[in-house]
Amino acid sequence: MPDQTTLILFKPDAVAKNLTGKVLARFEEAGFKVRGIRMMRLDDALLREHYAHVADKPFFPEIVEFMSRTPVIALALQGEDAIARVRDLLGPTNSKEAAPGTIRGDFGEDMMVNVCHASDSPENAAAELKRFFRDEEIFEF
């Protein structure tokens, strides 16, 4: 499998609980390279774009409230088969179903409070990376 670059968002629970270093270390220990990293506050427009697939759902305001609690950390992460491997390291979206040893199994709480967002396909990774990074903020080395 070729190298891929994927987007990770450290969610407010990871930021508030000071888990970002521990989680980033797991990604690096698995052989991934950081190509870009930035801390930012997500505004309503960006959240509506990023969560467009659920923006019409009754729980969308809860997502906006949660994702606005603290700044998030956006990470462009590169590695072989990165999209699938990162999602394996994270575990299922619902942290209650995630096995111990996965990031969400060790640190998450539920469907929303689950430490990180990760791109789920090459197409979404490309779109999400453009949403959170300018071209000059992702580095080749």
Is 50 in the active site?
Answer: no
| Distance from chain centroid for Cα 140 | 20
Q: How far apart are CA 137 and CA 114, in angstroms?
A: 26
Q: How far apart are CA 47 and CA 123, in angstroms?
A: 18
Q: H-helix or E-strand containing 75?
A: strand 72-80
Q: Which one of 24, 117, 125, 129 is the catalytic residue? A: 117
Kindly list the catalytic residues. 117
